[in-house]
Amino acid sequence: MKLGGEELVPPVSRDPMTNFLIDFGIVFTGPVILKHGTLHRIWSRRSHGIVGLGIGYALHGDGLWRGSTFGVLREGVLDTVAPRNKYFGLLLIGQAADGFAETLKA
């Protein structure tokens, strides 16, 4: 909560990444760009200047941190749903991002 917001909406089931997020998570800064589409497709095509994937939480306008995946740009964040107030999480690049993107296929 030092980053802002009122509360964290906990994941539906135990998230094995929670301790890793606490220890190594970072705040992603810069402008937020909204691009509708699927994050998997944007990543696989390396569209819109995407350089990595972020996994973690986003601070919504209602003051709640909710689980989120988002694109990471050299200077900013790419969201495919709606711009959020802040983003916190882990940065995935290269093969790690490729592997995670495969889980986003639906």
For the chain, how many residues are written?
106
Q: Residue 106 pLDDT > 70, yes or no? A: no
- Beta-carbon contacts of 75 under 8 Å, excluding residues fewer than 6 positions away, are 30, 31
Kindly list the domain boundaries of the chain, sorted by start residue: 16-104
Residues paired with 72 in a beta bridge? 52, 77
pTM value surpassing 0.95:
no
Lowest-pLDDT choice from 5-9, 11-15, 96-100: 11-15
What pLDDT digit, counting tens, does each position of 44-89 carry?
Answer: 999 999 999 999 999 999 999 999 999 999 999 999 999 999 999 9
* CA distances to 55, 66, 96 from 5, in Å: 18, 11, 29
Asked if 4 contacts 61 with a C-beta cutoff of 8 angstroms, the reply is: no
Residue closest to 1 by CA, chosen among 19, 22, 15, 16: 22
Q: To the nearest 10°, report the CA torsion of 8, 31, 33, 75.
A: -110
